[in-house]
Amino acid sequence: MSISGDSGSARSASRPDGEAAGGPRRLAVVTGASAGIGRAFAERLAREAWDLVLVARRRERLEELATELRAAHVRRVDVLIADLGSSAGVRALEARIADEPTLELLVNNAGFGTSGPFVELDRDAEEQETRLNVVALVRLTHAALEAFRRRGHGSVINVSSLAGFQPSPYTATYGATKAFVNSFTQAVSEELRDSGVRLQLLCPGFTRTEFQEVAGARTEEVPEFAWMEPEAVVDASLAGLRRGDLIVIPGAGNKLLGAMLRAVPSAAARRVGAALIRRRLSKG
């Protein structure tokens, strides 16, 4: 995967907060940086001269990425191995957040989904999903906002999903965790309206990462045009951060889908959604 020199580089020469590269050092923490959207955040932010703390469970992947980014951008890139589905992992990152005076951006990106009929899914996995997608995100947002509010600046990007806009039969827990993130992020953003601190709710649609494989989701019927690359998702997010947008839905197709999902009554959305998935399941 390329880490420099593509079309986003000129536009992203300034930081999301408007400060030119070469100014005082600013640190971003990216969770789930070992793959997919988180990795793309790490690459983009490194190119914009941010220092980085990369967080995930897979040490080898993170070390490799950190070495690549240091070589290309000569910035501070630290690795924190943590399972954010565990209390110990979340608390370790909270402590790190409190300890970093130059922290300016937290990207709460780590997340996973489960798919299938809810009663047939593994109960422990459903709990882990809720712990990672909800509990860790709340605690880490709180830890970062304490510091940001004191300083009067700083940003949190919470990675949600279009799946959070309506109940999602057959990905019920995942959709519900993202609905939580949607509501939570918008509410806290309003509380901090005039504080100088920003929150962003990033709601991607289908994105080419390891997510679908981890979720065991069948995507063969998803049309080619519906997919986005993680780098494009991140470019939309960072452009939105520069503009101060609260809700970012990357891609024109996803924006349209997001508007439709929000307009449709939830009874209709959940019935149509469930019927489509049942039809797919019955085909085997």
Candidates 3, 27, 29, 35: give the one binding ligand NAP (CB under 6 A): 35
Place of tokens 């798919």: 115
- Active-site choice (165, 170, 174, 211): 170
| Closest C-alpha to 3, from 51, 80, 56, 67 | 67
Residue 174 among the catalytic residues = no
- Return d(Cα 240, Cα 155) in angstroms, integer: 12
Place of tokens 């039969």: 169
Minimal CB distance residue for ligand NAP:
36
Asked whether position 218 contacts ligand NAP by CB under 6 A, the answer is: no
Q: How far is the CB of 196 from ligand NAP (least distance, A)?
A: 26
| Closest C-alpha to 204, from 176, 226, 172 | 226
- Return d(Cα 169, Cα 256) in angstroms, integer: 21
Q: How far is the CB of 24 from ligand NAP (least distance, A)?
A: 29
Q: In this structure, which amino acid lies at residue 124?
A: D
Q: How far is the CB of 13 from ligand NAP (least distance, A)?
A: 25
Asked whether position 164 contacts ligand NAP by CB under 6 A, the answer is: no
Instruction: Name every residue whose Cβ is closer than 8 Å to that of residue 256 and which is 6 or more positions away in sequence.
Output: none
Sequence-ordered strand ranges (E) for the chain: 27-31, 51-56, 77-81, 103-108, 154-159, 197-202, 247-248
- Return d(Cα 195, Cα 55) in angstroms, integer: 27
Residue pair 9/49 in contact (Cβ under 8 Å)? The answer is: no
Place of tokens 């240091």: 70
Between 154 and 230, name the residue whose CB sits nearer to ligand NAP.
230
Asked whether position 159 contacts ligand NAP by CB under 6 A, the answer is: yes
What are phi and psi for residue 17, nearest 5 degrees? -85, 5
Q: Which part of the chain contacts ligand NAP (CB under 6 A), choosing from 45-53, 79-87, 115-123, 264-272?
A: 79-87
- Return d(Cα 282, Cα 272) in angstroms, integer: 15
Between 20 and 125, name the residue whose CB sits nearer to ligand NAP.
125
Between 56 and 147, name the residue whose CB sits nearer to ligand NAP.
56
Distance of alpha carbon 275 from the chain centroid: 29
Q: Which part of the chain contacts ligand NAP (CB under 6 A), choosing from 5-13, 19-27, 201-209, 273-281?
A: 201-209
Site mask for ligand NAP (CB under 6 A), range 83-122, x = bound: xxx-----------------------xxxxx---------
Q: How far is the CB of 41 from ligand NAP (least distance, A)?
A: 9
Candidates 12, 114, 161, 182: give the one binding ligand NAP (CB under 6 A): 161
Q: How far is the CB of 48 from ligand NAP (least distance, A)?
A: 19
Asked whether position 207 contacts ligand NAP by CB under 6 A, the answer is: yes
Candidates 148, 165, 184, 211: give the one binding ligand NAP (CB under 6 A): 211
Which are the catalytic amino acids?
170
